[in-house]
Amino acid sequence: MIDVTDGIVLIDKPAGMSSFGVVARVRRVLSERAGKKVKVGHTGTLDPFATGLMILCVGKACRSASDYMKLDKVYETTIRLGQTSSTGDPEGELTNVSDKRPTRQQIEKALEKFTGKITQIPPIYSAIKVGGQRAYHLARQGKDVEIPARTVTIYSIDLVDYAYPELKIRTYVSSGTYIRTLAQDIGEALGTGAYCCQLRRVSIVDWHVDNARTLSDFGIES
């Protein structure tokens, strides 16, 4: 059991839960133990299907939450070739694109194109605010959502494993990088289509998921 009223807490988010859901559960537990309302907030959203490191700010630490939001991150990602997803992840509508099987050499060459400063258009199913509303809320309502392109930095991409139709990569990226978009762009470059089927945030600068707590440490069932 963990009792915290001020400071930061590293959490290893489970799959199938929103970042807001993680915050709400931890807030409830800490508030119950403190006998008063404890303020808790996160410093960067992870998609529900994703797992990995979240930095939660508790109590007075919430005042400095913005200090943690623009930090570089490392992700481990499994990309599935041959199909696209309407949301860029397993939760969307899948469309078959191609049965082309790129070689490992072709994949490594494609990955090189995405190293350095690149331009991305974030997915419409994202937490970005458009006209004061979250983009995913507008998208779910069937409304047209236009999100401007942004420049992000991919410091490195390493091909960890490849067994068609899935390839696993490890990416070191700047804040604001959308890995779902990166997966889609890689699929387009290969001519196969692709979507992100697994995503895990392993570190945020010097904070690593190996040092994070799980929800069970708070007595929370995930």
pLDDT at 79 exceeding the cut of 90: yes
The catalytic residues are 47
pLDDT in tens, 37-62: 999 998 988 999 999 999 999 999 89
Confidence band, pLDDT 50/70/90 cuts, at residue 1: very low
* Bridge partner list, 201: 52, 75
More confident: 129 or 177: 177
Residue 125: pLDDT over 80: no
Q: How confident is the model at residue 218 (pLDDT cuts 50, 70, 90)?
A: confident
User: CA 198, CA 156: separation in Å to the nearest integer?
Assistant: 19
pLDDT for res 44: 85
Please name the residue that has the structure tokens 């991409």. 157
Tokens linked to 44: 């960067």
The residue to which tokens 């119950």 are assigned: 32
Q: What is the pLDDT of residues 4-37, one digit of tens each?
A: 778 899 999 999 999 999 999 999 999 998 889 9
- On whether the CB atoms of residues 150 and 173 are closer than 8 A, the answer is no
List the domain boundaries for the chain: 7-69+206-218, 73-204
- The CATH number of 7-69+206-218 is 3.30.2350.10
Residue 141 has pLDDT above 70, yes or no: no
pLDDT at residue 77 is higher than 50:
yes
Domain boundaries 73-204, CATH class: alpha beta
Residue 95 in contact with residue 193, Cβ under 8 Å?
yes
Confidence (pLDDT) at 201: 98
pLDDT tens-digit map of 142-171: 556 666 778 999 999 999 999 999 999 999
Say yes or no: do domains 7-69+206-218 and 73-204 share a fold: yes
Per residue, the 3-state secondary structure of the chain, as one string, reads CCCCCCEEEEEEECCCCCHHHHHHHHHHHHHHHHCCCCCEEECCCCCCCCEEEEEEEEHHHHHHHHHHCCCCEEEEEEEEECEEECCCCCCCCEEECCCCCCCHHHHHHHHHCCCEEEEECCCCCCCCEECCEEHHHHHHCCCCCCCCCEEEEEEEEEEEEEECCEEEEEEEECCCCCHHHHHHHHHHHHCCCEEEEEEEEEEECCEEHHHCECHHHHCCCC
